[in-house]
Structures are given as C-alpha cells and as structure tokens.
C-alpha cells in the first residue's frame, strides 16, 4: 500500500467568475491554508510572480492556516534510541510490540498517516503520540519522548545536521537532493514504499471549465520555467505534470489510499 497525502492545499480565488477569454481581468489571490514558512507557502510565493507576469494582473498570497509538486518526507529516530537504520527500527518494534512511541503533527495529518503507512508496510505496531504542531512533534523525538516520526525534510533537516535526529530513510522512490546520503525507505528494507508530500491547486465549485483549463495550463507553464524548476530541485520537489482530469483522478486515488490506511490502522477522529 502506498499513499501520497496532501500536506498542503492551495485554493486559487479570483473574485467574480468570468470566461477564459478575459481571465483574469482583476487581481488574483492564492489562499494558502497552512501558514507562513511551510512548503505550500514557499511554493505559492515562488510561482505567484511568474503568474503576475503571465497574466498582467497582481497575484498575491494570503496565509490562512486552513498540482503543483511532490517531495519526500523523512523517517527519523531519536539519537538517544540507538536506532541507526530502518532495519534497526523494525527490529526494535518487533522486539517490543506496541511499546515504541511515534510522533506526528496531529491525528489524521500527513505525518500521522505516513507513519501508520510505514508501520503497516513494515509489519510493526507502535503507539501514536500526536503533537499539536510539527516542531512540537520533532522536539518530542529529539528529547526521546517518542522514538521516531515521519517529517517534512524542511522541518527535520536542522536537527539531522546537528546530530539530534538520525535520518533513517526518505519516503519517496528516489533519494532527496537535500539528503543525498540518506537511502529511500524502499532501499532500506521496506520494498516499494512510496509516500511523498504533494501540493495542489483548487478553485471553488462552479468555476467555468474553460477557466479551470486555463489555470491548469498556465500553472504548468510556470512550473516548467527553468528558474522555477531549478528552485524546486534545490528544495527537493518535482513538478507534477498532470492535466486537470488526471489530477482529479489522482486526488480520488489518493483519497482511497488514505481511507485504506485509516481503516487498517484503526484511526479514530478526536
């Protein structure tokens, strides 16, 4: 079982709806729902100047903690645990079934489902200790209150570099340029494991199909620009080349994968 869970969602709003022939005829807002500094915020602020140039209308980003690219999470363990590899982690969990504790940014988040997906694929059981935020979850693992967690690379990188966390594997099929020395989880022992972060753009229901098509075409054009591709690569992200219908099918597939993880792991809402 593999899954790609939406860590960030972007909603593109443009005031009054209009036909594609004159879209957009007024300023456009990108509503970023997870707050400043995260992956969705960084990526939306990189593409907005390009869209401004392309459309001749201001494109601004507003943070309202509420496809574009995919990139990896990283599985990390507390240095104090003595765990240095994916195989070590699996062995430790199997030696003490249900006793190891793993963290996340909260129940039902991508980091929670990612860890549950890892547990299922690795055939281990552990206790979930949700944090209120990703920094809190990482702090718990650094302090040894939890043994491991799956985190966006950007949140965990400083503690990995400082030796406070041990990077065991990245969750994508390819290694991350941000952590080239870290194997993929599949390489490290859990065959076929693949669980990247992905970001997408949504518009409100009722937006004319021709406007949706124009947005999809123009955003894909921006993501293909050499400077944007270089920036994405530097930050460990790959553009997702999908038409709007392909993306709709992708989202449906991902929702079904998430539902399977939730059911198999017995996750209950708070």
- Cβ-count burial of 125 within 10 angstroms (0-12 exposed, 13-18 middle, 19+ buried)? middle
Q: In the prediction, which pLDDT does 1 show?
A: 31
Q: In the prediction, which pLDDT does 36 show?
A: 56
CATH superfamily placement of domain 5-69+197-259: Bordetella uptake gene, domain 1 (3.40.190.150)
- Rounded CA-CA distance 128/195 in Å is 18
The listed range with the strongest mean pLDDT (129-138, 202-211, 214-223) is 129-138
Higher pLDDT, 72 or 44: 72
Higher pLDDT, 25 or 226: 226
Architecture of domain 73-195: 3-Layer(aba) Sandwich (3.40)
pTM tops 0.75? no
Q: Kindly tell me if the per-residue pLDDT of 8 is higher than 50.
A: no
182 contacts: CB under 8 Å, gap ≥ 6: 74, 167, 168, 169, 170, 175, 176
Band of the pLDDT at 17, cuts 50, 70, 90?
very low
Domains 5-69+197-259 and 73-195 share a fold: yes
- Rounded CA-CA distance 37/175 in Å is 23
Domain boundaries along the sequence of the chain:
5-69+197-259, 73-195
Q: Kindly tell me if the per-residue pLDDT of 22 is higher than 80.
A: no
- Rounded CA-CA distance 26/198 in Å is 29
The total of other beta-carbon atoms located within 10 Å of residue 197's CB is 26
Sole residue written with tokens 């992708």? 250
- Rounded CA-CA distance 176/187 in Å is 13
């Amino acid at each position: 079982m593999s899954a790609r869970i939406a860590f960030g969602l972007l909603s593109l709003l443009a005031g009054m709806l209009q036909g594609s022939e004159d879209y957009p005829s007024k300023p456009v807002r990108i509503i970023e729902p997870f707050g400043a500094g995260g992956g969705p915020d960084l990526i939306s602020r990189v593409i907005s100047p390009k869209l401004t140039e392309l459309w001749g209308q201001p494109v601004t980003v507003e943070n309202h903690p509420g496809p574009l690219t995919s990139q990896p999470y990283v599985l990390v363990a507390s240095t104090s645990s003595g765990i240095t590899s994916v195989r070590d982690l699996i062995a430790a969990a199997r030696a003490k079934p249900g006793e190891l504790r793993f963290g996340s940014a909260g129940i039902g988040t991508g980091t929670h489902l990612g860890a549950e997906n890892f547990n299922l694929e690795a055939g281990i059981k552990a206790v979930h200790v949700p944090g209120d935020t990703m920094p809190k979850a990482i702090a718990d693992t650094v302090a040894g209150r939890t043994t491991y967690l799956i985190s966006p690379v950007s949140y965990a990188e400083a503690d990995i570099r400082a030796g406070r966390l041990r990077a065991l594997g990245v969750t994508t099929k390819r290694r991350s340029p941000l952590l080239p020395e870290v194997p993929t989880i599949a390489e490290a022992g859990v065959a076929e494991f693949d669980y990247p972060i992905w970001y997408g753009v949504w518009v409100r229901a009722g937006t004319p199909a021709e406007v949706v098509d124009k947005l999809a075409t123009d955003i894909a054009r921006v993501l293909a620009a050499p400077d944007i591709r270089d920036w994405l690569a530097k930050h460990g992200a790959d553009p997702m080349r999908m038409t709007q219908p392909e993306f709709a099918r992708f989202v449906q597939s991902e929702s079904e994968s998430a539902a399977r993880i939730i059911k198999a792991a017995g996750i209950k809402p708070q």
